[in-house]
Structure 1
Amino acid sequence: MFLNNFNLKCRYLRVVSHIKRYSTDIANHEVISDLLGISIQEAMYYVEKRRLKNKETQSLIKSIQYCQSIGFKNDDILWCPMLLTQHPLTVEHHYLAMKEGGFSNIEPIILARAIHFMKKEVLNLKKCAIIMDKTDVARSLVEHIENKEIAEKVYERHDDYTPWNIVHMNILKSFLKWRLNAGEDDIVKLFTVHRMIINKSFRIIQENIAIAEELGFNSDKILKNGFLLNNYPTYARTILEDFSNLAGADMKRAIKHHPKLLTRPPRNIIKIYGI
Structure 2
Amino acid sequence: MPFHETKKIMNKYASIWNSPPAMLSHNISYMMEYGFTKEDISKTPQVISVHPLTLKNYIMLLEEGGFYKEKINPLVISRFKNFKNKSIKMLKAEKYIDNNIDVQHHILSFLQFPTDKYPKEFNESHTLGEVQENIFKLYVEWKIQMDYTDVGQALKVYHRLYNKSLRLIERSIDILINDLNFSEDKIRRHPYLIHSDPDNIVKLLNFKKLCGMDIKTVLTKHPKIILTPCESIREIQKHLKDFGVPESALSKVPQLYTLGSNSIYERLCILKNTPELNSFMNNPQVARLLYYIKKVNLRLKYLQNKNCVSLHLLSSNTRAFNRFNCSGHAKVTSNDIMHFLTNELNENKQQLRKLFERHTYWQYISLLRIRKTFEYLKNKQFTKEQIKSSVHILLYPKNNIEEALVVAQNMEDVCFLRNSNGTIKSEFILPLVLYHLEKSHHFSGNGVWSFNENNQQFLSSDPSKNVSKDNEELDHIPSSCINDYELT
TM-score if structure 2 supplies the norm length?
0.46
Q: Give unmatched runs, 5+ long, in structure 2.
A: 242-488
Aligned match of 1:41: 4
Q: State the SS of the aligned residue for 1:206.
A: helix
How many residues of Structure 1 are paired with residues of Structure 2 in the alignment? Answer: 235
Maintained 8 Å contact 1:154/1:175: no
1:206 aligned to 2:170? Answer: yes
Percent of aligned pairs with the same amino acid: 27
Aligned match of 2:237: 273
Aligned match of 1:229: 194
Candidates 73, 79, 85, aligned match of 1:107:
73
Matches of 2:187 and 2:173, distance apart in 1: 8
Candidates 111, 118, 121, aligned match of 1:145:
111
Aligned match of 1:187: 151
Counterpart amino acid of 1:47?
M
What whole-Å deviation, never above 9, does each CA across 1:96-134 have from its counterpart, x for those lacking one? 111012111212211121121011100110111100111
Aligned match of 1:87: 51
Aligned match of 1:132: 98
| Higher gyration radius (CA) | 2
Q: State the SS of the aligned residue for 1:229.
A: helix
Q: State the SS of the aligned residue for 2:233.
A: helix
Q: State the SS of the aligned residue for 2:196.
A: coil
Aligned match of 1:215: 180
Report the alpha carbon displacement of residue 267 of structure 1 after superposing the two structures with TM.
1.3
Counterpart amino acid of 1:107?
N
Report 1:219-258 matches (<5 A). Answer: 219-241=184-206, 243-258=207-222
1:161 aligned to 2:125? Answer: yes
Counterpart amino acid of 2:75?
I
Aligned match of 1:61: 25
| Greater than 6 Å deviation, 4+ residue runs | none
Report the alpha carbon displacement of residue 222 of structure 1 after superposing the two structures with TM.
0.8
Report the alpha carbon displacement of residue 154 of structure 1 after superposing the two structures with TM.
4.0
Report the alpha carbon displacement of residue 44 of structure 1 after superposing the two structures with TM.
2.0
Matches of 2:166 and 2:211, distance apart in 1: 35
Q: Give unmatched runs, 5+ long, in structure 1.
A: 1-37
Maintained 8 Å contact 1:100/1:144: yes
What whole-Å deviation, never above 9, does each CA across 1:136-158 have from its counterpart, x for those lacking one? 101101111213x2x43143431
- Comparing both chains, which one has the higher relative contact order based on Cα–Cα distances under 8 Å and sequence gaps of 6 or more? 1
Q: State the SS of the aligned residue for 2:116.
A: helix
Report the alpha carbon displacement of residue 163 of structure 1 after superposing the two structures with TM.
0.9
Matches of 1:54 and 1:161, distance apart in 2: 39
